[in-house]
Chain A
Amino acid sequence: MPRKLMKGNYAAVYGAALAGCQAYYGYPITPASEIAESAAAIFPKLGRTFLQAESEVAAINMVYGAAGCGQRVMTGSSGPGISLKQEGLSYCAGSALPCVVVDIMRGGPGLGNIGPEQGDYNQVVKGGGHGNYKNIVLAPNSAQEMCDLTMLAFELADKYRNPVFVLTDGVIGQMMEAVELPEPVSEFPDKSEWAVRGTADSRHLINSIYLDHDDLEWWNEELARKYALVQKNEVRVEEYRMDDAVIAAIAYGSVSRVLRSAVDLARDRGVKLGMFRPVTLFPFPNEQVLALPDRGIKGILTVEMSNGQLVNDVNLALRGKMISDLHSRMGGNVPSALEIVEKVSELYGV
């Protein structure tokens, strides 16, 4: 397959273009700006819409509008901008509008810094806006996956009529790797049942208001049923050297890349460490995590660039069968393979 060297941020836009994304609305923020920049470079050549919105608030509402018209549409940002998008995301979920949001996480809270972090986990995975909704969340760990999972994000967004996040951090957004470009998508789902196109047959209503309490309860239950279906069908994980592992380390995104190095380093030292990587954060791989103790795993270490947000989900999944330890780095600091291996030795005496 032909390959092209590109940043993760670019790869996401290539993925979007290949998935038939017709419009990009966004506002610049480091370390996500190359998403807007590459969309500005690529989309007009494809006759697609690129617009630099006046704010992230405007951008997500433009996404709402485009999605309501049946377009495949994307926006991208980082922590502070994602915070601003939360109301709009809740509207998208409440109105069952498919859309794709890329979050290239940086250090927080507040203005924090522009180093890589994973502190947006809760606000993205738990559905950070108001009301009972969830985002589907994919967590790429390479430029290739930025392309592939962005394409998948569009597919899932349409399949479930729900916002889908591509959640990663500054390392994956900024790094360049070889990307094999997949074939462009040529068949798109029929949205004529609900999309507003300014034609006689498309005079539909895009709306999240249900004044009647019973109606709104019904709608919330519908959403819950949808999320149960997503949980059942869409879990994706990656494992590395787990077959004979005694200690499992869990991480997503760029940390899982470090973990891969850590696993090799540990094995060189005779420590049977394996990597367990959730590729989907919602749906979280609950069953797979719960099964770890039965696979001969004696200790679980969650490694994250946040203050214990991922480990909470790991421990919920474990249901008390075992308790995961936490190795956490923050503020833009990336854990090294060596420090992970040393932590494993210290915790589990191996």
Chain B
Amino acid sequence: MAQKTVLRKPRGFIDVYKHKPGAEKDRTHYCPGCGHGILHKLIAEALEDFDLVEKSIVISPVGCSVFAYYYFDTGNLQVAHGRAPAVASAVSRANPDSVVISYQGDGDLAAIGGNNILQAANRGENMVVFFVNNAIYGMTGGQMAPTTLEGQKTTTTPYGRNIRTDGYPIQMCELINQLTAPVYIARTSLHDMPNIRKTRAAVRKGIQNAMNRKGFSFVEVLSMCPSGWKMDAVQSQNWIKENMIPRFPLDTYRDNSDQPYTVERPVPIMDPEEVRKILGFGSLKTANLRQNPDAVLRKVALRVSGFGGQGIMSTGIALANVGMEYGYNVSWLPSYGPEMRGGTANCSVKVQEETIGAAECTEPNMVIAMNQPSLEKFEKILVPDGVLMYNSTLIDIEPTRKDIKVYPVPITGMADELGDTRVQSMVSVGAFAAVTGMFDPGEIKSLMPVLFAGKSDKVMKLNEDAVQMGYDYVKDNFS
């Protein structure tokens, strides 16, 4: 009786290639003798054998395998040139239980996406990468790839690749083997049956690693491109054996598949009650506007300025916080970037009942100058009748303007007296409260848990003392 052979596609493939346009929905778009089709089949078989078809997600790159999604009966994402490892990283994190396959050519992976593959490998992303090294850009018609061999003619190396101008063929396995995180790194070839069998084993190992959350596996496959190389199928196989393998040795460069480590990913907390708790809704207060009828300033447009390290920013933030707790509208705007590095820093603070327009105080009605350059700079832009408070510990010149109110306060000196220069900020806040009459020191002190959240009682007490000291100084000296 004649033997009957039943041929069928592995279940990893879609039965009828419905995404493929045109009439031929039963065959691939690859050229005869191309390696892509063989590798696709090895992957599809493995997915079937490990029962992973439904759990897998294939990332189709840009290159001849751009249409990998025609074939695999998995979840599919087609992505930008070279970015498959970046996309796959997020896909794997979004679906930690899935098997994520990044399928890429040499132009895609080693040229335009060179950094993306290294970084994904270095993060140990849970994915398997199949890297088709055919030493050429197949899809765009046979241009040089990073893996093109020395002397190899392509459409963009018509005289042969010159290593002096084009560099050397990049050996990706060797490169990735410099990184600590990857679990499995191997190079195989598709040029004959024994090597296809070895490729099959490597494909299966990579897929199993992804399934078992072992992390990052990298399988480089030397693959025929008869069209790009302008050879027939048999010549192409021989060309791999004779020319590619000497440059790209076939080997398992690393196999830590047995390591006990598995990739863990967090479970997002989406429950509104939990979210509110974690974001700290519980500790927030509802403020009602409280006003002191004796306030000198009712609408504060303040500049705080001084050296970096004098607590300029924190003085402003503390005042904005206090204003907010009193029910005012507040804004705080820092000078940011290089300006801060130059030594002086300043910020704008607004505290007012009305909606705040511009946050920057271009015409402040109050200035706190912590050093001399600040006094010189900001005295000029104070509005007439504005308030200038300056740090008399460090500033020994007198303000020149006569149409403003001046409060010399030894801010640094008082902080030092308390034993910690860092409390200058709260000395300033206390002095501000006394000068403006907007807040009283007791209420500022009650806000310490807001202003110094997470700090020790000792720190809070010290800062309470600073507030009182600044407040008392102004009250005692300028009433």
Task: Mark A residues whose CB is within 8 Å of B.
Answer: 1-5, 14, 17-18, 20, 22-23, 25, 30-31, 42, 44-49, 51, 53-55, 57-59, 61-66, 68-71, 73, 87-88, 91, 95, 113-115, 170-171, 174-178, 181, 183-186, 196-200, 202-209, 211-212, 215, 254, 257-264, 334, 336-338
A337-B336 in contact given A23-B93, A54-B119 (Cβ < 8 Å): no
B438 → A minimal CB distance (Å)? 16
A259 to B358, CA, bound (A): 8
> How many pairs of residues, A versus B, come closer than 8 Å at their CB atoms?
239
Q: Tell me the residues in window 20-67 of chain B with beta carbons closer than 8 Å to chain A beta carbons.
A: 21, 54-57, 66-67
Question: CB of B74 within 8 A of chain A?
Answer: yes
Q: How near does chain B come to A137, taking the closest CB pair, in angstroms?
A: 22
**What residues of B have a CB within 8 angstroms of the CB of A336 in the complex?**
358, 362
A198 touches B359 (CB 8 A): no
Residues of chain A lying within 8 A (CB to CB) of residue B195: none
A309 and B362 alpha carbons, distance in the complex (Å): 26
- Chain A residue numbers with a CB within 8 Å of B330 are 5, 176-178
The 5 A-B residue pairs whose C-beta atoms are closest, nearest first, are: A198-B98, A2-B284, A261-B357, A65-B90, A260-B357
B179 surroundings in chain A (CB, below 8 A) = none
A61 to B83, CA, bound (A): 6
In the bound assembly, the distance between CA atoms of A137 and B359 in angstroms comes to 23
Contacts A178-B324, A206-B76 hold; do A65 and B337 have CB atoms under 8 A apart?
no
Of B129-137, B164-172, B200-208, B266-274, the segment with at least 4 beta carbons within 8 Å of chain A is B266-274
Chain A residues, Cβ within 8 Å of B285: 2-3
Known: A65-B88, A88-B80. Is A4-B284 also a contact (CB below 8 A)?
yes
Among B54, B275, B358, max chain A CB count under 10 A is at B358
Least CB distance from A80 to B in Å reads: 14
| Residues from chain A with Cβ under 8 Å of B157 in the complex | none
A45, B278: Cβ atoms closer than 8 Å: yes
B336 x A174 contact (CB < 8 A) = yes
How many angstroms from the CA of A185 to the CA of B268 in the assembled complex?
14
Cβ contacts under 8 Å, B329 to chain A: 177-178
The answer to whether B278 and A196 touch across the interface, beta carbons within 8 angstroms, is no
> Are A25 and B278 within 8 A (Cβ)?
no
How far does the Cβ of A117 sit from chain B's closest Cβ, in whole Å?
13
Cα distance, A49 to B95, chains bound together (Å): 12
- Nearest Cβ on chain A to B10's Cβ, whole angstroms: 16
Which chain B residues (90-128) contact chain A, with CB distance < 8 Å? 90-91, 93-95, 97-100, 115-116, 119
Contacts of B67 in A (CB 8 A): 209
Contact across chains for A175 and B86 when beta carbons are under 8 A apart: no
In the complex, the answer to whether A199 meets B54 with C-beta atoms within 8 Å is: yes
Most buried by B among A185, A202, A207: A207
B77 contacts A183, C-beta separation under 8 Å: no
Instruction: Say how far A231's CB is from chain B's closest CB, in angstroms.
Output: 28
Cα distance, A262 to B358, chains bound together (Å): 9
Contact partners of B278 in chain A: CB under 8 A: 45-46
Judge whether B392 is part of the interface by a CB distance below 8 angstroms. no
Contact at B91–A30, with CB atoms within 8 Å? Answer: no
CB distance from A143 to the nearest CB of B (A): 8
How would you classify the secondary structure of chain A's contact residues: helix, strand, loop or mixed?
Answer: mixed
Cβ 8 A contact of B21, one of A14, A87, A211:
A211
A-B contact pairs, 15 of them (CB 8 A): A2-B284, A46-B275, A46-B278, A47-B269, A48-B268, A61-B83, A64-B79, A87-B80, A115-B337, A176-B331, A177-B331, A196-B75, A203-B74, A254-B359, A334-B360
Q: A3-B285, A22-B268 are in contact. List 4 more A-B contacts (CB 8 A).
A: A62-B86, A91-B79, A177-B329, A338-B362
CA distance A31 to B56 in the complex (A): 39
Contacting pair B116 A184 (CB below 8 A):
no
A42-B279, A336-B362 given; A196·B91 CB < 8 A: yes
**Beta-carbon contact of A203 and B116 below 8 Å:** no
Q: Is B478 an interface residue (CB 8 A)?
A: no
**What chain A residues lie within 8 Å of B19 (beta carbons)?**
205
A198 interface neighbour in B55, B268, B276, Cβ under 8 Å: B55
State in angstroms the CA–CA spacing of A31 and B90 once bound together: 25
Measured in the bound complex, the distance between the Cα atoms of B57 and A203 in whole Å is 8
Could you say which residues of chain B place their CB within 8 Å of the CB of A263?
357
**Docked-complex contact B75 and A202, CB < 8 angstroms:** yes
Q: Which residues does chain A contribute within 8 Å of B270, judged by CB atoms?
A: 20, 186
> B332 at interface (Cβ–Cβ under 8 A)?
yes
- A320–B91 CA distance with the chains assembled, in angstroms: 49
Q: How far is the CB of B410 from chain A (nearest CB, A)?
A: 28
Contacts of A197 in B (CB 8 A): 75, 94-95, 98
Chain B's closest residue to A209 (CB) is: B78
**Within the complex, what minimum Cβ distance (angstroms) separates B464 from chain A?**
20
Set A65, A91, A185: member contacting B94, Cβ < 8 A = A65
Complex contact A55–B115 (CB within 8 A): yes
